[in-house]
Chain A
Amino acid sequence: MYKILKAEMLAENIYLMDVEAKRVAKSCLPGQFVIVKMDEKGERIPLTICDYDREAGTVTIVFQIVGASTKRMARLKAGDSFRDFVGPLGQPSELCKEPLEELKKKKILFVAGGVGTAPVYPQVKWLNEQGVAADVIVGAKTQNLLILEKEMEAVAGNLYVTTDDGSYKRKGMVTEVIKDLVQNQGIKYDVCIAIGPMIMMKFVCLLTRELNLPTVVSLNPIMVDGTGMCGACRVTVDGQVKFACVDGPEFDGHKVDFDQAMKRQQLYKTEEGRAYLKEQEGDTHNGGCGNC
């Protein structure tokens, strides 16, 4: 069992938990992920590592309610436990592998969308610890859905926050901020790391390709085991089939087939939607809601 030491709601439907998992905390690096399973009957859910404390032996995860399993998971409190918590999975971020001298010369831009802010945070923090100040754009639908702003502010170089509806700071999409920084202000970035909803990563990549800005994305496709055994997470990168769990989760964003990846994400949408409604409405639900 893996004990939850802290559980808090960061924003509507977005939760943060510190979980005791000594082996993971000892060996994980930014960019990697874990798989959690709350109880015997739960799903195996892949979640990017948001933070870790090697001494305390804890790993921080952030997740959003998207279906029945995550809704059940959100009810867990400090003192409760996950039945299973395994990792770290996937390859660490490329940045962690680069010689520090090279890294220090680079101008790095992070683009975080929604709950994707969580996996961006440990990378920015890690760079900050190495003495590298990276710029960060954080986008949220609306102010209430913005997470980790203070934490990010403490470790980022420049932080640009934008909301789709203009309820907080700038109004507009993250792509508009990228354009503003690169085209209007003339900032020359060497690399962009974009993590967020698939559709956001797709449009960031379309733009950065035009801007000639190399871009890395972190994919979170459907997975089961997370060790390469099932192949559910396959994505096409540069015309080749890759398994996000062992080859990724980070890939060259300009080479990812996003349209296919987005279609594959829909695979269980109906099943998940049904399970969610069954849980919310019990026997009263008769499928007439139009959502399932």
Chain B
Amino acid sequence: MEIDVLKRVPIKEQDPKERATNFEEVCLGYSAEEAQGEATRCLNCKNARCIQGCPVAINIPAFIQEVKEGNFAQASRVISDASSLPAVCGRVCPQESQCEGQCIRGIKGDPVSIGKLERFVADWARENGIKPEAPSEKKDKKVAVIGSGPAGLTCAGELAKMGYDVTIFEALHEPGGVLVYGIPEFRLPKQKVVAAEIENVKALGVKIETNVIIGKSTTIDELMEEEGFDAVFIGSGAGLPRFMGIPGESANGVFSANEYLTRSNLMKAFDDNYDTPIRPGKKVAVVGGGNVAMDAARTALRLGADVTIVYRRSEEELPARVEEVHHAKEEGIKFNLLTNPTEILVDENGWVKGMTCVKMELGEPDESGRRSPVVIEGSEFEMELDTVIMSLGTSPNPLISSTTKGLEVNRRKCIVAEEEFGKTSKEGVYAGGDAVTGAATVILAMGAGKAAAKGIDEYLKSI
């Protein structure tokens, strides 16, 4: 196999036309030969900047060297030391702004495909039956982890490796959090990848109790006082969907991206064998420009709709990963950029029939550093639609903060936790992920879960 050191080994993908009609995974992954070829491009830097770019600090050059040599099992061990969910991260991390964004190769040419190599190693390990082992030494301390998304699974996995007795409490009927209800099958296969990674966490000795809503079924105080948990980690996720507050938003046919994706991903509404209905829509607008907006748009497309993304800034400001935007375009999603909805038009039966929008232009940068959009006078126009999906982010769920004595929240109602180890204002309680930061990424939540595991370990040693 010939390698051009400036170019990454291309990755096989499902043809855009074909994949637009199915829920199978878009990216098909590297073969062993391709992975080994790509691995030769790594310069094995002494001062590896990629590791600093990784929120869970995987020893990237070390695992890539093992891949180069064909020692895939060893490569998997190197990754597992730092990450509990490598098959997930290899698929959904924004590598371009993390590890790959730091890669020296990227100065002149393509950075090394670190994400795709991680994915290859994790998939190889799973297919070859490599499972992590529970530690032989157990510690006599119990930790409750709230939420089984990326933050909770990581924190639980790390603590279990240290020998603690860990139970995860999950509000929904399946563990996985956003990996199950939010990210679609075609980007992250549920059975093959997510369920397998959760099994790996369980193999470390972690117990998972589903259908328990902390703040309702029981409280943190009760877990600590009555059920004997010595410490608690809160990784409860992002929370309540935001709407725009424009007229017509409660009409039939307006959904939050959370609802649309939950129906399709968690409840499998796209599959006729499942009872949950979904109204896919024929002409759909998705309002927003993040990864969730791309996921909702590409799901609607696969359910047979004609889909347009409506975003108020320009392409440069789209918060979604470059790869997701690229895939969406390839599949035929249209982009109405610099456009903002002002009203949802409703027919006499209460159903969506269209949306009035205005065109925008970019003005001065706002506090986030992005140029803020300004309405162009007289630019109003109508789109004909039957479905609008709002993907505008979320605000924190008050279920836990309002039922836990002494747990401080900030102005935005996010749980206050120290960045270094996730310590909250309540003794023995740690937090991380979207519940603390507001909606962010899988890998940042994992980083916070890992940091909190360290904090909890220190705390439990001290009492």
Interface size of B in residues (CB-CB distance below 8 Å): 40
Task: Chain B residues near A232: list those with CB within 8 A.
Answer: 255-256, 259
With A260-B250, A264-B250, A275-B275 known as contacts, the answer to whether A227 contacts B171 (CB < 8 A) is yes
Closest to B253 in A: A267
Tell me, yes or no, whether A100 is within 8 Å of chain B by CB.
Answer: no
Q: List residues of B (388-423) whose CB comes within 8 Å of A's CBs.
A: 397-399
Tell me, yes or no, whether A68 is within 8 Å of chain B by CB.
Answer: yes
Q: Nearest Cβ in chain B — how far from A76, in angstroms?
A: 15
Tell me, yes or no, whether A225 is within 8 Å of chain B by CB.
Answer: yes
A263, B252: Cβ atoms closer than 8 Å? yes
Q: 6 closest pairs, A vs B, by CB?
A: A263-B350, A271-B277, A230-B259, A86-B211, A231-B256, A84-B173
Q: Nearest Cβ in chain B — how far from A267, in angstroms?
A: 5
With A27-B218, A260-B350, A275-B275 known as contacts, the answer to whether A267 contacts B258 (CB < 8 A) is no
- CA of A271 to CA of B281, assembled, Å: 13
Tell me, yes or no, whether B195 is within 8 Å of chain A by CB.
Answer: no
B217, A241: Cβ atoms closer than 8 Å? no
Stretch binding the partner chain, chosen from B92-100, B138-146, B238-246, B285-293: B238-246
- CA of A55 to CA of B268, assembled, Å: 37
Specify which of A227, A266, A268 lies most central, judged by the most chain B CB atoms within 10 Å of its CB.
A227
Q: Nearest Cβ in chain B — how far from A23, in angstroms?
A: 4
Q: Nearest Cβ in chain B — how far from A128, in angstroms?
A: 25
A229, B258: Cβ atoms closer than 8 Å? yes
Task: Chain B residues near A263: list those with CB within 8 A.
Answer: 251-252, 349-350
Task: Chain B residues near A87: list those with CB within 8 A.
Answer: 213, 216-217
With A88-B217, A230-B256, A231-B243 known as contacts, the answer to whether A224 contacts B263 (CB < 8 A) is yes
Stretch binding the partner chain, chosen from A41-49, A135-143, A161-169, A211-219: A41-49
Tell me, yes or no, whether B71 is within 8 Å of chain A by CB.
Answer: no
Q: Beta-carbon contacts of A85-110 to B below 8 Å, as 1s and 0s?
A: 11111000000000000000000000
A231, B217: Cβ atoms closer than 8 Å? no
B350, A264: Cβ atoms closer than 8 Å? yes
Closest to A72 in B: B275
- CA of A106 to CA of B258, assembled, Å: 42
- CA of A161 to CA of B272, assembled, Å: 43
By a beta-carbon cutoff of 8 Å, the part of chain A in contact with chain B is 23-24, 26-27, 37, 41-44, 68-69, 72, 83-89, 224-225, 227-232, 234-236, 241, 243, 246, 260, 263-264, 266-268, 271-272, 275
Task: Chain A residues near B251: list those with CB within 8 A.
Answer: 263
Task: Chain B residues near A275: list those with CB within 8 A.
Answer: 275, 277
- CA of A85 to CA of B181, assembled, Å: 18
Given A241-B245, A268-B279, 11 further pairs, Cβ under 8 A: A23-B218, A26-B218, A43-B276, A44-B276, A88-B216, A89-B213, A227-B213, A241-B243, A241-B249, A263-B349, A267-B279
Q: Nearest Cβ in chain B — how far from A237, in angstroms?
A: 11
Q: List residues of B (223-270) whose CB comes within 8 Å of A's CBs.
A: 239-241, 243, 245, 249-252, 255-256, 258-259, 262-263, 267-268
Closest to A229 in B: B258
